[in-house]
Structure 1
Amino acid sequence: MNRDPSYGRLLANRYQLAELVGEGAMGRVYRAKDTVLGGVVVAIKFLSQALLNQNMRDRFEKEATISALLGEKSNHVVRVKDYGVDENNIPFYVMEYLSGESLSDIIRYQPLSLSRFLILTRHICLGLESAHQGIPFSGELCRIIHRDIKPSNIIVIQDPTVGELAKILDFGIAKLILANASQTQSFMGTLAYCSPEQMKGQQLDNRSDIYSLGIMMYEMLTTDMPVMPQNSSFGGWYQAHNEFQPEPFKSHLGLPNALQNLVMACLAKAKEDRPQSIRNILQELEELNQTPKVPATTQSSQVENPPSTQKVNSGQEQTVKGTPSLTEICLQHAWPKDKPVKKIVFAQVLQSPLGEIPVLSVMLDKTDIVNRMSSIRYNQFLFLNYPHPMLLWITLLYTKKHGPRWLPCYLDLKSHKGQQLSRALASLGSYRILFFALDHPERCQHVSTSNIDPQNANMLEKWAGIGKSSKTSGYPQASKEILKGELEQLKPKILLKLEAVETNFSGDFSG
C-alpha cells in the first residue's frame, strides 16, 4: 500500500509526522507526535501553497499568535500550540489533536434534536463571541471574523467534565480585523455559506459570520440548505445569496416559531436586518432553552461520511488479540482470477472470522487510488421490482480537485448472490471499498469504509425479501437500463449537493 512521502518526517526537529488525516483547499492536516513532550499527539496544518502570496506570509505569524491567544480565551475554539515555517518555506501551525466528529458528519443522516441543537449552537456562539469581542495584541484590539463558518469547521468531542462539547476550527486562516487597519478585498470562504456582502467582496464584520451561522443552523435543523443555486458556480451562488429567499421550514419538523424567526433573521440579505451581535443570538437561545422542547422529525440524508470518522457497527473493528480486523482481512484479499484486469467494479461477500463482509472491489490507476483516499463518499440505493427485481448500488467518490468517480453496481435480487449481498449490507450497516491498482492486482492497495443510512439498511432487507418472493422475473437488462436512466437524472443533483457541503478536510482531526 502506498504511503505518504511525509510519513515519519521530523518537522522543526520536534514533530514527527504520521498519517495524512485531511486535505482541502486550505491545506493539509497531519497527525503527529510531539517528541519533546514524550510523544503527545498533535495535529499539524500546512497552508496550501496556492494561498502563499506575500501578503499571506507576512500575516501568518500574527494570525497564528492571535489564534493561540483565542484558544486560551475560549474553550470552544481549537487551541493553536505552535507555528513555524518548514524547510520549503511552507507555513504550518500545531494544534491540539481532538478525537471527535465534525458537525457535517453528525447531520448528514438526520437533523439534530432540538435539545442537542440548542447545546451545540450555544457552544459555537460562545466561541464566535470571544473572537468577535477581540484579542489584545501588541497594544491593539484584534477583532477576529472567521469568514468560513460551516459544519465541517465544527468538531464535536466528548469532554469528561461537560459531556458533548463543540469547538470551532480554522481560526488560523480567519480574517483579522485590526483597529485602524484596512481590509484586503481577497475572497476567502466556502460559497454555500458566504454572506451576500462576502460574495460582493465588501468589508466584513461580525454580521457576516452571523449569516453563515444562520445557514449552518438551518442545515442542523433540516439537513437541507436554505438557498440553492441554479448551478454551483460563483455566479450561481452569488445570485442565490443575494436574490433567493430562504426556503421556509417544513411544518412537520415541529420547530418553535421563535427558533424559525431567529434563523430567518440571521439569513437576512441586509446585514442591518440581522441580529447585530452573537450576544443577541445567545439570549434568544437561552429563552428557547427555557421552553418545552419539541423534537425535530428525523429525515434521511444519503451523503456519506468522510473517511476516518466513520464507525463500524457492533464494534467489529475491536477484535480480540490474534484476530485481524475487517480492514486487515480486506487488505490481504487479491483480485479474483476470473475477473479481467481492467477498470471495472463488482460486488461480493467475503467470509471472515468476523462474519460476512460486503465489499465493492474497484480497479483503478495507482494515481487515481491515491487521489481518492481522502474523498467524500456518498452512497444511495435504487430498487426496481418490475420487469425484474433489480437493485442499483450507487457509490460516489468525490473531491473538488479530482471530480467525481462513480462506482455503480447492479444486484439481481432474484439471485441468491444478490439477496445475500443486500442482506449483508443491511446487517452490517456499512461496506468496504477495496482498491486494486492496474499494475499490482495481486494485493488490495487501499480500503475505505462507507456507512449506510439506517433507513436505507432497513430497505435493503425488505428489498431482498421482495426480490425472493417476487413473481415478476425476466428481462433483467430492461430493469438495468431503467435504473441507469434514473442514475443519469440523479447525478447533477447529487453533485450539486456535494459541492454545496464539501468539507475542507475529512477524517478524525483537529483543524
Structure 2
Amino acid sequence: MNEYKSELDIYIGQLLNHRYLVRDILGSGGMGRVYLAEDVARDCMLVAVKMLSLNIRNKQLAERFGREIFIGAQLGKKSPHITRVLTYGITNDKTPFYVMEYLRGRNIKQVLKRESLSISRFLKVCQQICLGLDCAHQGVVLKGKIYPILHRDIKPENIFLANDSKPTETVKILDFGIAKFLTETSGMTMTESFIGSLPYSSPEHMQGQKILDVRSDIYSLGLLMFEMLTGRHPFYTNSHSFSTWCKLHCIEAPPTFEEVNPHIQVPQELQQLVMRCLAKDIHDRPKNVKEILDDLVKIEKHIENNHTSNSKKSEPDTSLKLVPLTSISEQLCWQKYWPKNKPIALICFPHLLHTPKGNIPTFWAMLPEAEIEKFKDKKHSNKFIGKSEDYPIMLWLTMLYEENTNLIRWLAYYLDLKDNREEKILRNLAGIGYYHLLLFAHEYPHKCNYVTTFMLSAKQRQYISDIINSSQRIERLTSPTQAKIMLKLEYEKFKAEVNEQMNLHTVNPSFSFRNWLIKLVTFWKPPS
C-alpha cells in the first residue's frame, strides 16, 4: 500500500503551468489519476487535475487524451450537468493533464452504500442525468460539423451529486474520456479493444458490434436507474470475467424489482420505463434520452397528482376547486405590512416569504400610488444579470411598463452570493421558478397595495443555477463594491438600449416597444 501511495505522490507539491499547485490525490482510474490542486492565480481556488497514466510519447493515448480534453471543454460549456474543463497542459516529464472544476459531494456509488433514494429524489437526479446525456448526444461542433457523442461508461461512479442531499443538489456526469465520435450517418466505429465497465455495458457493446448509437448509453442508464431504485445491480455476480457478463447482458432476462428488493414500492410506470431501457434488442429501447426525460416528467406529475388527490380524500371538507400554489401564496402577500425596519421611501428589496408550503421568493417595492394604479393588470418583464468571474454577484431586475404613457419603472437589487441569506433567496428562486411582486403605496405605506406574480423561464432558472454553482468555485479577487460597480455599468448599458428603443416608440407609434422589450430581455447578454 505504501509503495502504491509513493508512486502516486510524484506530482504532489508540483506547480503545473506555473499556476496549479498539486496538494493531494483524489482517485485513480484506467486513464489516469485525479489530483486536488490549488489555483494560485485565483487565491488558491480548489480545482481537480486529471493526469494521464502514461507518457505523451504514446501517440494513441495522447490522441485519446486530447479528445477527452476537447469533449470535456465543449460539453461542460453546453450543459451544467457535465463536468467543466478549465484548461490543460503538459508536465516536465511530458505527461499531459487537464484542469477541471472541483466538485464537493458524493457519487452515486458512495450514496447507495449509505442510504436509499426516495422516488422524488430519484426522479430529480435522473432528470438531470438525462439533460446532460441529451446534450452530449446532440453533439459538439468540430470544423463546422456536428458530431454526436456517446459516453459509453455510464455507471454509479461517474454520476456525481454536488451539494449532496441539499434541496438544490446538482448532478454532474463525469469522465467523457472514453467517449467516441459518432458520424452523422453511420454511427460509431469501435476499436478492437473493449473499452467500458463490464457491469454497465450494453449487449451490442459486449458483442463487439461495430456500430453503436445513443441507445447503448440508454441501456447503461437503465442499469443505473434499476440500481438507484433497488439498491442492487439487476445482474448480481462476483465474477469479473468477460464471458459471464456477456451472457448476463445478452441472454439473461433482468429480474423484477420485487425479486431484487421486495421491501420497496416503485410505481408501475417507472418500472416499465426502466425495463424498456434494459431491452436486449436495441430497437425495443427508447429511441433517445429526451423520450426518457419526457416520461420521467410525466411520472413525477402523476405521482404529485395522486399525492394531492389522496391528501384531499383524507380531509373532511373537500374543496370543489384546486387552488394553485401561487394563488395561496399571493393571498398571504396581500396580508403583509411594510417592515418596520425599512424606511418609508421609494426602495425595493427581496424577501423569502414563509408559507405552509415552504419559502416563496418575493420582491417588495414602494412606489407612488398613481404609478401603481397605472401598472396594475399590465404585463411586465424581469431580467437577471450575473457576474461571477471576479466576484459572485447578481442583479435582480424587474421592469414595470405602462405602454400608453411610456412609463417605465426599474426595480433593481444586487444580491451578493457570498451572503448566505441572499444566496438562499436565489436558490429558492431557481428551484421554485416564480416570485411575487408586492407593491406598497408611498402615501399609504403600511398595507400591501398590489400583488402580481412573475414566472421565470427555464433558461432564466438555469442561468441563476449556473451563477450559483460557479460562485462556489470562485475565491474573492475583487471587493463586493468593485464587483457591484462593474455590474452596474452593464446594467446602465442595458437601460440605455431600452430607453433608446422607447424613444423610437414615441416617434413611431407603430413600433411595438413591448414586443421588442420581451425579445431584448430574452436574448440580451452583458457586454464582454
TM-score by length of 2: 0.53
**Residue in 2 that maps onto 1:97:** 102
Pairwise mapping of residues 55-454 of structure 1 onto structure 2 (< 5 A)? Answer: 55-158=60-163, 163-179=168-184, 183-185=189-191, 186-202=193-209, 203-229=211-237, 231-250=239-258, 251-292=262-303
Q: Decide which of 16, 19, 23 is 1:14's aligned counterpart.
A: 19
CA shift in 2, pair 1:241/1:161, >3 Å: closer
Q: Deviations over 1:261-318 (max 9, x none)?
A: 00011001111110010011001101111122699xxxxxxxxxxxxxxxxxxxxxxx
Larger radius of gyration, structure 1 or 2?
2
Cα displacement (A) at 1:52: 8.1
Secondary structure in 2 matching 1:89: coil
Does the CA contact (< 8 Å) of 2:106 and 2:164 recur in 1? no
Q: Deviations over 1:70-90 (max 9, x none)?
A: 101101011011122322332
Does the CA contact (< 8 Å) of 2:55 and 2:95 recur in 1? no
Secondary structure in 1 matching 2:61: helix
Letter in 2 for 1:246: P
Does the CA contact (< 8 Å) of 1:142 and 1:178 recur in 2? yes
CA shift in 2, pair 1:273/1:50, >3 Å: farther
Letter in 2 for 1:235: S
Partners of 1:87 and 1:286 in 2: how far apart?
Answer: 50
Gaps of 5+ in 1: 296-508
Aligned residues: 296
Q: CA RMSD in A?
A: 2.6
- Of the structure 1 ranges 161-170 and 47-56, higher mean CA displacement relative to structure 2 is found in 47-56
Letter in 2 for 1:223: G
CA shift in 2, pair 1:63/1:176, >3 Å: farther
Partners of 1:31 and 1:253 in 2: how far apart?
Answer: 38
Does the CA contact (< 8 Å) of 2:55 and 2:96 recur in 1? no
Does the CA contact (< 8 Å) of 2:137 and 2:214 recur in 1? yes
Letter in 2 for 1:259: L
Letter in 1 for 2:195: M
**Residue in 1 that maps onto 2:365:** none
Cα displacement (A) at 1:39: 1.6
Does the CA contact (< 8 Å) of 1:14 and 1:35 recur in 2? yes
Secondary structure in 1 matching 2:115: coil
Cα displacement (A) at 1:229: 4.3
Partners of 2:18 and 2:148 in 1: how far apart?
Answer: 33
Letter in 2 for 1:189: G
CA shift in 2, pair 1:276/1:167, >3 Å: same
CA shift in 2, pair 1:15/1:178, >3 Å: farther
Letter in 2 for 1:198: H
Secondary structure in 2 matching 1:211: helix
Of Structure 1 and Structure 2, the greater helix share is in 2
Does the CA contact (< 8 Å) of 1:71 and 1:79 recur in 2? yes
Partners of 1:180 and 1:92 in 2: how far apart?
Answer: 33
2:52 counterpart of 1:47: yes
Cα displacement (A) at 1:27: 1.5
Partners of 1:52 and 1:70 in 2: how far apart?
Answer: 27
Q: Deviations over 1:380-405 (max 9, x none)?
A: xxxxxxxxxxxxxxxxxxxxxxxxxx
Does the CA contact (< 8 Å) of 1:46 and 1:93 recur in 2? yes
Does the CA contact (< 8 Å) of 2:134 and 2:290 recur in 1? yes
Partners of 1:242 and 1:28 in 2: how far apart?
Answer: 32
Q: Deviations over 1:329-355 (max 9, x none)?
A: xxxxxxxxxxxxxxxxxxxxxxxxxxx
CA shift in 2, pair 1:83/1:201, >3 Å: farther
Does the CA contact (< 8 Å) of 2:56 and 2:96 recur in 1? no
Cα displacement (A) at 1:116: 0.4
TM-score by length of 1: 0.54
Cα displacement (A) at 1:20: 0.5
Q: Decide which of 39, 43, 60 is 1:38's aligned counterpart.
A: 43
Secondary structure in 1 matching 2:11: coil
CA shift in 2, pair 1:52/1:247, >3 Å: farther
Partners of 1:77 and 1:96 in 2: how far apart?
Answer: 10
- Of the structure 1 ranges 101-110 and 82-91, higher mean CA displacement relative to structure 2 is found in 82-91
Cα displacement (A) at 1:145: 0.4
